[in-house]
Structure 1
Amino acid sequence: MNLWRNLSGRRRAVALAGASALVAGGLVTIPVTAAQAATQCSVDYTTNDWPGGFTANITIKNLGDPVSSWNLGFTFPNGSQRVQQGWAAKFTQSGQNVTATNESWNGSLGSGASTSIGFNGAWSGSNPKPTSFTLNGVVCNGGTPTPSPSNPTPTPSNPTPTPTDPTPSPTGPTTPPGPKVDNPYLNAKGYVNPEWKAKAESVAGGNRVSNNPTAVWIDRIAAINGTPDSSSNGAMGVRDHLDEALRQGAKYIQFVIYNLPGRDCAALASNGELGPNELPKYKSDYIDPIAAIQGDAKYKDLRIINIIEIDSLPNLHTNTGGSPGATAMCDTVKANGAYINGVGYALAKLGAIGNVYNYVDAAHHGWIGWDSNFSPVAGIIKEAATASGSTVNHVHGFIVNTANYSALKEPYFKVTDTVNGQMVRQSKWVDWNFYVDELSFAQAFRNELVSKGFPNSIGMLIDTSRNGWGGTARPTGPGPMTDVNAYVDGSRIDRRIHAGNWCNQAGAGLGERPKAAPEPGIDAYVWVKPPGESDGSSKEIPNNEGKGFDRMCDPTYGGNARNGYSRTGSLDNAPISGAWFPAQFAQLMQNAYPPLS
């Protein structure tokens, strides 16, 4: 699974100094009047400030008639404020007056459509936000500031058109909804998948970890009833696993809901069976049957945890439009609403069942840790959570690092460290990211999601199935202080060649064992990706599961722009995604951290 995406923050970064802080900006909306019936707009202006500099992210929403081109105007309140480097628009500045003109690819804004632009800037003394904006010369009247995170009024960062879809919105639950516990993992025995357990114990030493709970992946329609002839997953279907969970006396069971139309639009190894226009089939043939089984009253005392559509919503920001990582498939599923409405429908249909807990995938720090991705992706997630009959109350929490390798904690360096006057953020490895590990990212992203309107009760999950990075290559202290790259490379426990490498990583190890409530804001460390299941084949392997060959799984590949043209670091002789890969499982046990006894 490709959990790395083009990180547009790289090309927007300049030599900055100081710590990051997300600051809510002005939300300005013009009322509909006869004099201004053609052009109305709202502008969401947010900044991330540091001493002497800032990044501004601006979302423009057209509330009037469609336009084929646009320019946005505003005035800096402070005469020292300057635009230095912009993106997604052509910026000009005269004195305190700034104009941003559309690029060729984002000039068209339909009624209700929006676009996001931004720039890096400099300031001295203070950095107040503009209070007045114009769109095509018409004032977006007001200057009303965006409420603080404790009382947010979010504006979706990348609204997606809602397609005409004859499939009705989800109806009520098959099991009457009841009160949910705050943390379904706490003081609860997890379900051990007997199929994974048998595979784990087929490898020497596997019995040391085979009793840990792992998630069951429902990655195609056939998997609902079981796929005995498949090379990946197993013969047991959803009802089989639920019945086995009851037999085990388990308190919770985890499923991965993973079959969106146009699935994994920026990768090939985990493409799915449904085309980008098959949203009705996703609803009727995939989500509805799963909901019917999970809603059976027989399972009402079992906490059913659904991990919702890994590797989907962040693509709508990082891999669409004019971004260097854009793909035709990602542009298609953004334009037709397949991801937004598919996720919304799944949340509403499954979340209406009283004993079901939905956790939405929220990528990882090495994908959306840049300020140019962080808040916009949270806005897209909010949009999906309120689409197709869903509300934020159908979301119990979020999961990060699913099927990825990012370290839980980096104990020997921090993002705020400096070496010879250079920040850690300037190192090649960190590449201007604001986070260096998953725990700090998960806690910060939780706060951002709450600021977008999700309940303060939401909890985060972190997939620790393969991010242990133990073994002889694990550092025991900070790296040399000779320069910032030597310091970071010598300090980091994440030993990947590049943080963008995601497929069957050589040297990886099992991470923290599944554990409830390990840190503030974290519901659990979980093993959602069953250790030993391949991320993708190291060469093309014909199959009937719709899974392609991605060169990022080829150990001989020299890389691409997404991973800095670095070697992939992938293991050789890997089978297709989801298939059992015993050599990988043996390596994960060997390099486990904490070590296995």
Structure 2
Amino acid sequence: MSARRTASALLTAAALSVTGLTAVASTASAADGCRVDYTVQSQWNSGFQGDVKITNLGSPLSSWTVAWTFPSSGQRVSQSWNANVTTSGSRVSASSIGWNGSLGTGASTQFGFIGSFTDSNPVPTSFTVNGVTCTGTVTPTQGPTQGPTQGPTQGPTQGPTQGPTQNPQPSGDLYVDTENQSYAAWQAASGSTKDLLAKIALTPQSVWIGNWNSPSVSQQQMRDATSRASAAGKTVSVVIYAIPGRDCGSYSGGGVAESEYAQWIDTVASGIVGKPIVILEPDALAQLGDCGGQGDRVGFLRYAAKSLTQAGGRVYIDAGHSGWLSVDTAVNRLNQIGFQYAVGFALNTSNYQTTSASQQYGEQISQRLGGKGYVIDTSRNGNGSNGEWCNPRGRALGDKPRLVNDSTGLDALLWVKLPGESDGTCNGGPAAGQWWQDMALELARNAKW
């Protein structure tokens, strides 16, 4: 084999098997070049998520470009991650992005994309790498291959390969946390101030867990909150907030390092007792691709959903709010993560969109996702939104939290954002997360109950 062919690494013809909505195309090895797996990870209406895995079986590569032509003229790639993808009609070219270009012998890398189709979604049967066609014996496989590989530093392990541990919809009451700042403020207050703060402190609110504590302290925080709720026979909601590149460096910027996220998630998940509701990474999906430092955010969220679900959590992937992403965009991004483990999605976290607007938006998304459930943050939406997101004045506490079991996709109204805690140093507020009593009293005073 020529040096050019050996250094190219290359692909083979493809075979297709279908399980439910998941189609898998797998290729066998070229004589001494490579192996490539092309997988339709999930499919819905006229869209699908694809994954392409390249394994180098030849000499080391410094970069790669994979190209193929879709069999159907209606197939297109609309979004990608971990590769630079360009298209011309049905022709697709995907090249390495620096950190994943170097492939030693036996090494592999993976990239993913969101695609669309019109009439059908057949699997490509011919590929090239660096301009060289690779052919070989085809060996069909059953079920999806692994999820996308990680970013430039070590990240989570591969995506899920089996269905979720089914955590049933909880019933009964939500748990009132007595360890938050509103409860301490209520205890210290008197007179009319105490009466107003009681509206917040004695209402079920979420417990936020992030990297402002060490992994062991975060694990203990999870264990304490879920143990107390489980012992009381009630359901607690917990927020996981530590994604790399969190908040794109804004007031709540930070997050765990890319190389530490998977371990951090596993540590926190090991503290779960019972069956808590888990809101996974507010803003992470809505800000996908908006800034650097995110690593393989799709892979991170997939891994977190898997780890937290297997530990007992009932996971809802945060999807922004009705004033942020279009229904189409929200559906496409949620489908990138998938629902192999997560049970649904979360809306309006820390925002002010009305419950009715959020539910209308949620129902549209739910229907497009085959009826997946969702939860709405109603903590500060009593007066709706005035267009501001950071400590807007004139807002009000919203609907009281409750579990929902009706004919809609709504699973619960929750207070995810803790009323009275600042959004950041804007509109006169203290640092993000700090208690701001004037704002707390305003929210309570304006409540319609």
Q: TM-score, normalised by structure 2?
A: 0.67
Aligned to 1:371: 328
The partner residue of 1:530 within 400, 408, 418 is: 418
Query: Are 2:92 and 1:100 equivalent residues in the alignment?
Result: yes
The partner residue of 1:29 within 25, 29, 44 is: 25
Aligned to 1:217: 208
- Residue 272 of structure 1 and its aligned partner are, at CA, apart by 4.7
Q: Distance in 1 between matches of 2:239 and 2:416?
A: 8
Determine helix, strand or coil for the equivalent of 2:397: coil
Query: Are 2:309 and 1:401 equivalent residues in the alignment?
Result: no
- Residue 212 of structure 1 and its aligned partner are, at CA, apart by 1.5
Q: Deviations over 1:124-175 (max 9, x none)?
A: xxx4235352322568999x9xxxxxxx9667875546976999xxxxxxxx
Judging changes above 3 Å, is the alpha-carbon distance between structure 1 residues 265 and 108 closer, same or farther for their aligned structure 2 residues?
Answer: farther
- Residue 396 of structure 1 and its aligned partner are, at CA, apart by 5.6
Q: Deviations over 1:433-458 (max 9, x none)?
A: xxxxx324434555666x6xxxx8x7
Any residues of structure 2 matched to 1:159-558 within 5 Å, and which? 159-160=149-150, 182-184=168-170, 186-188=171-173, 190-193=175-178, 195=180, 196-199=182-185, 202=189, 203=193, 205-219=196-210, 220-221=212-213, 249=232, 251-259=234-242, 262=244, 264=246, 266-272=248-254, 274-279=256-261, 282=264, 286-288=268-270, 290-291=271-272, 294=273, 305-311=276-282, 314=285, 318-319=288-289, 325-327=290-292, 329-331=293-295, 334=297, 340-341=302-303, 344-348=306-310, 350-351=311-312, 357-366=313-322, 369-372=326-329, 374-382=331-339, 392=341, 398-410=345-357, 438-446=358-366, 459-470=373-384, 494-496=385-387, 502-517=389-404, 519=406, 520-538=408-426
Q: Deviations over 1:324-378 (max 9, x none)?
A: x231x213x649x666545544443x32xxxxx4323332245554535523433
Contact kept in structure 2, 1:269 and 1:537, CA below 8 Å? yes
Determine helix, strand or coil for the equivalent of 1:589: helix
Judging changes above 3 Å, is the alpha-carbon distance between structure 1 residues 207 and 238 closer, same or farther for their aligned structure 2 residues?
Answer: same
The answer for unaligned runs of 5 or more in structure 1 is 1-23, 50-55, 122-126, 145-151, 168-178, 227-235, 295-302, 320-324, 352-356, 386-391, 411-437, 471-493, 539-571
Computed over aligned residues only, the root mean square deviation of the Cα atoms, in angstroms, reads 4.9
Judging changes above 3 Å, is the alpha-carbon distance between structure 1 residues 250 and 576 closer, same or farther for their aligned structure 2 residues?
Answer: farther
- Residue 246 of structure 1 and its aligned partner are, at CA, apart by 8.2
Q: Distance in 1 between matches of 2:319 and 2:75?
A: 33
One-letter identity of the residue aligned with 2:291: A
Aligned sequence identity (%): 20
Bigger mean CA offset, 277-286 vs 518-527: 277-286
One-letter identity of the residue aligned with 2:38: S
Judging changes above 3 Å, is the alpha-carbon distance between structure 1 residues 86 and 92 closer, same or farther for their aligned structure 2 residues?
Answer: farther
- Residue 265 of structure 1 and its aligned partner are, at CA, apart by 5.7
The answer for unaligned runs of 5 or more in structure 2 is 1-19, 158-164
One-letter identity of the residue aligned with 2:337: I
Q: Distance in 1 between matches of 2:377 and 2:136?
A: 44
Q: Deviations over 1:177-223 (max 9, x none)?
A: xx998332x23353243642353584463334542211222334369
Contact kept in structure 2, 1:318 and 1:373, CA below 8 Å? no
Q: Distance in 2 between matches of 1:99 and 1:371?
A: 24
Contact kept in structure 2, 1:69 and 1:109, CA below 8 Å? no
Contact kept in structure 2, 1:223 and 1:237, CA below 8 Å? no
Aligned to 1:577: 432
Determine helix, strand or coil for the equivalent of 2:423: coil
Q: Distance in 2 between matches of 1:82 and 1:280?
A: 34
Judging changes above 3 Å, is the alpha-carbon distance between structure 1 residues 255 and 91 closer, same or farther for their aligned structure 2 residues?
Answer: closer
Q: Deviations over 1:499-556 (max 9, x none)?
A: xxx4323443322211221642322111122211112222xxxxxxxxxxxxxxxxxx
Contact kept in structure 1, 2:78 and 2:114, CA below 8 Å? no
Any residues of structure 2 matched to 1:44-55 within 5 Å, and which? 44=40
Q: Distance in 2 between matches of 1:536 and 1:182?
A: 36
Q: Distance in 1 between matches of 2:318 and 2:216?
A: 24
Aligned to 2:4: none
Judging changes above 3 Å, is the alpha-carbon distance between structure 1 residues 161 and 468 closer, same or farther for their aligned structure 2 residues?
Answer: same
Aligned to 2:12: none
Bigger mean CA offset, 132-141 vs 67-76: 132-141
Q: Distance in 2 between matches of 1:582 and 1:265?
A: 24
Judging changes above 3 Å, is the alpha-carbon distance between structure 1 residues 139 and 573 closer, same or farther for their aligned structure 2 residues?
Answer: farther
Judging changes above 3 Å, is the alpha-carbon distance between structure 1 residues 439 and 141 closer, same or farther for their aligned structure 2 residues?
Answer: farther
Q: Distance in 2 between matches of 1:359 and 1:84?
A: 29
One-letter identity of the residue aligned with 2:248: A
Aligned to 2:10: none
Judging changes above 3 Å, is the alpha-carbon distance between structure 1 residues 58 and 468 closer, same or farther for their aligned structure 2 residues?
Answer: same
Q: Distance in 2 between matches of 1:240 and 1:63?
A: 44
The partner residue of 1:128 within 119, 134, 143 is: 119
The alignment of Structure 1 onto Structure 2 pairs a total of residues equal to 392
Q: Deviations over 1:222-241 (max 9, x none)?
A: 69769xxxxxxxxx966765
Contact kept in structure 2, 1:402 and 1:463, CA below 8 Å? yes
One-letter identity of the residue aligned with 1:221: N
One-letter identity of the residue aligned with 1:442: G
Q: Distance in 1 between matches of 2:88 and 2:440?
A: 55
Contact kept in structure 2, 1:156 and 1:379, CA below 8 Å? no
- Residue 312 of structure 1 and its aligned partner are, at CA, apart by 7.0
